[in-house]
Amino acid sequence: MAEIGIGILGGGYMGKAHSVAMAAVGAVFNTALRPRLEMICASSPESAERYRAAYGFARATNDWRALVNDPKVGAIVIATPQSTHREIAEAAFALGKPVLCEKPMGADLADAEAMVQAAEASGVPNMVGYNYIRTPASQYARKLIADGVIGDVTAFRGEHTEDFMADPSAPATWRTQGMANGTMGDLAPHMINGALALIGPIESLIADVETVHKIRPGGEVTNDDHAQMMCRFKNGVMGQMFFSRVATGRKMGYAYEVTGTKGAIKFDQEDQNVIWLYKMDDAEAERGFRKVLTGPAHPDYEPFCQGPGHGTGYQDQIIIEARDFLHAIHSGQPVWPTFRDGLDVARVVDTALTSAEKRSWLNVPLRG
C-alpha cells in the first residue's frame, strides 16, 4: 500500500483537526494512499515540538520553508493565517507538491488569483478546505436539489452566524485587524461556497458591511463584525445571505433554506445530522417539514457509524476532506473544491466589499 508524507503548517485549531484527520482517514475510508505524519510546523521550536509529540508527527520545525522543501514531505496542508497562504502555496507548487489550503485561499483576491495560477501551472492536485458542505446532511441536500426532488429552485437564504466576538469587552486581537480576518473574510466564504455548491454561480449582488464594536480593549477594530448580501444567481434564483461574528447566542449558525416549486429544504449546522424536507406531493393531512435523520443511506456516513441517527461530528468533516485530498493525489484527478473553486468564492467576497463601499448592485466576474 502506497504511503505519502504529510507536512502540516500550523498546529492550532485547524492544524490539530487536519493532523487528527490524516491519522484516522486510512482506517475510516481504507484509502489506497495512506498518509504518514512526517512533519509539523509552528511559530516557535517549543510549540512545534509540543504539537509533534501530541499529534504523532515524526519531526517538527518552526521554519515553513524547511517543511515545504523536505524531500520526505510529499503533500502540504496549510492551516496558518490567511496572509501566509500565498507564499507557502507558491513554494509548494514550484516543487510539484499537492496542497490542501484552509479557507480563505489568501488575504485578498490578488492572492487567490496568484495561487490559482501557480496551482494550474504546476498541474498537481490542489484543494481548499471548505468542510461544512461535506456533512452527510448537506451532501444529501445537494443530491435532492440536483435530482429535482424539490422542483425548480426559486429562492435561497443562507447565513453563517457565530457569537465569538459578541461581547464588546472582548479584547482586540489579530481577528479584529485587516479585512481578511473580518466576517467577510473569515465566515462569509463558508456560506458563499455552500451557496455556489447548492445553487450555482452568483451573477450579481448588493452588500452592506458594518463594524458593530469599533473600539475594543487594546485597540481599534479595522474589519467588519457582520454583513448582509442580496444576490441573483446565474440560473435566475433569488438569494440573500447574512454573516456575523456578533450574533449573540449563535455558536455554529451555518444554516440555509432552499425553496423550490415542489418542496423545500432547511438545514442548520448546530443540528448537523438533520435535514428538514418538505414535499408538496405529500398527502394534505401530512404536509409539513419532515425531520430526516442521517444514517448509512446518506453520503459518507457509513464509514463512521452503521447506526442511523447516531450522527457524525465536526472532526468527521475534516476526515472526509482528507479522503478527498488523498484521492485527488492518488488518482491524479481534481476533486472539488479546487483552488479555482476557491477563487470563485474570493471573487464574490471581493465584489461584495466593493458593493458595500459603492452602495450599489455589481456584477460578479464569472469564470471564462
Averaged pLDDT for residues 308-312: 94
Question: Is pLDDT above 90 for 367?
Answer: no
Question: Is pLDDT above 90 for 26?
Answer: yes
HSE-CB of 131 using CA atoms within 13 angstroms: 25
Averaged pLDDT for residues 296-300: 97
Cβ-based neighbours of 305, under 8 Å, separated by 6 or more? 296, 311, 312
Among candidate residues 51, 50, 48, 53, the one with its CA nearest the CA of residue 64? 48
Read off the pLDDT band of 249 (50, 70, 90): very high
Mean pLDDT of the chain: 97
Read off the pLDDT band of 366 (50, 70, 90): confident
Question: Is pLDDT above 80 for 272?
Answer: yes
pLDDT for residue 30: 97
Other CB atoms within 10 A of residue 33 CB: 20
- Reported as a single tens digit per residue, the pLDDT across 70-119 is 999 999 999 999 999 999 999 999 999 999 999 999 999 999 999 999 99
CA distance 227 to 205: 13
CA distance 232 to 366: 13
CA distance 197 to 145: 10
HSE-CB of 196 using CA atoms within 13 angstroms: 26
Read off the pLDDT band of 147 (50, 70, 90): very high
Cell numbers that stand for 365 in this block: 466576474
- Reported as a single tens digit per residue, the pLDDT across 121-131 is 999 999 999 99
If one compares 368 and 72, the residue with the highest pLDDT of the two is 72
- Reported as a single tens digit per residue, the pLDDT across 322-345 is 999 999 999 999 999 999 999 999
Averaged pLDDT for residues 188-200: 98
Which residue is listed with cell 495560477? 117
Q: Which domains does the chain have, with CATH numbers?
A: 2-132 (3.40.50.720), 133-310+345-358 (3.30.360.10)
Strand order in the sheet with 75-78: 59-61, 33-41, 2-9, 75-78, 99-102, 126-129
* In contact, 127 and 328? CB cutoff 8 Å: yes
Instruction: Give the least confident one: 47-51, 95-99, 175-179, 323-327.
Output: 175-179
As a three-state string, the secondary structure of the chain is: CEEEEEEEECCCHHHHHHHHHHHHHHHHHCCCEEEEEEEEECCCHHHHHHHHHHHCCCEEECCHHHHHHCCCCCEEEECCCHHHHHHHHHHHHHCCCCEEEECCCCCCHHHHHHHHHHHHHHCCCEEEECCHHHCHHHHHHHHHHHCCCCCCEEEEEEEEECCCCCCCCCCCCHHHCCHHHCHHHHCHHHHHHHHHHHCCCEEEEEEEEECCCCEECCEECCCCCEEEEEEEECCCCEEEEEEECCCCCCCCEEEEEEEECCEEEEEEHHHCCEEEEEECCCCHHHCCCEEEECCCCCCCCCCCCCCCCCCCCHHHHHHHHHHHHHHHHHHCCCCCCCHHHHHHHHHHHHHHHHHHHHCCCEECCCCC
Read off the pLDDT band of 206 (50, 70, 90): very high
Q: At 260, phi and psi to the nearest 5?
A: -130, 175
Question: Is pLDDT above 90 for 1?
Answer: no
Question: Is pLDDT above 80 for 368?
Answer: no
The structure's pTM equals 0.96
